[in-house]
Amino acid sequence: MKTTNVTLILVAVFLLLLIALGGAAVYYHGEYSEQVNANAQLQRDNEQQGTVIATQSFQFNRFNQIAASQLQFAVALTGRQQEKEIAYRTILKTEPTCALAVPAGVAGRLLEYANSLRASAMHADPGIADSAGSGTATAGTLTYCQAVLWIDPLLTVIEQANSQLAGVRNIEDLRLKNSLRYL
């Protein structure tokens, strides 16, 4: 009878040990599965982050190329404009009508318009322009030769601005294409 009790106790202990080991196996298998899933998620996140970083690096590089191209264009354009101004000054030196003044009303309107453009260039909203610097200056005379010399620099600045806007449109198109690619 003692052997039977000892055997029963050993069987009971063995069963309890078996149940405990089974429970531990189930628990640690669940933990392992969670870790595998978490690891897989981290790998996916790292891959996505790598893709985003590569895309941003490409875009940054492309934007720098566009900006450098625009700067190079502006420098070349300014050089050509200065050459033209020298040629115009040489031609205008011999013109007898060079000293004739532009009518005061026309010159005043041009001066006011130029001052308002300068003032609004300092702010994104022209309504917030600094009125202190855009008042009328002492009226001087504007000659026809001076007006002629204003035209080419004005056209150069307009061409530079158009080129910069084209660069911005190019960048926005590139950004839009890349954002649509990842949707």
Taking only the tens place, the pLDDT of each residue in 49-73 is 999 899 889 889 989 999 999 999 9
68: Cβ–Cβ under 8 A, 6 or more apart, which residues?
Answer: none
Query: Which pLDDT score is estimated for 136?
Result: 47
Q: Where are the domains of the chain?
A: 2-100+143-181
Which has more confidence, 11 or 119?
A: 11
Residue 128 pLDDT grade (very low, low, confident, very high; cuts 50, 70, 90): low
Instruction: State pLDDT tens for residues 132-152.
Output: 444 444 556 888 888 888 888
Mean pLDDT rounded to a whole number for the chain = 85
| Distance separating alpha carbons of residues 37 and 31, to the nearest angstrom | 10
Query: Which pLDDT score is estimated for 135?
Result: 47
Query: 166-182 burial, b if ≥16 CB within 10 A, otherwise e?
Result: ebeeeeeeeeeeeeeee
In percent, the amount of the chain with pLDDT more than 90 equals 38
Query: Which pLDDT score is estimated for 122?
Result: 65
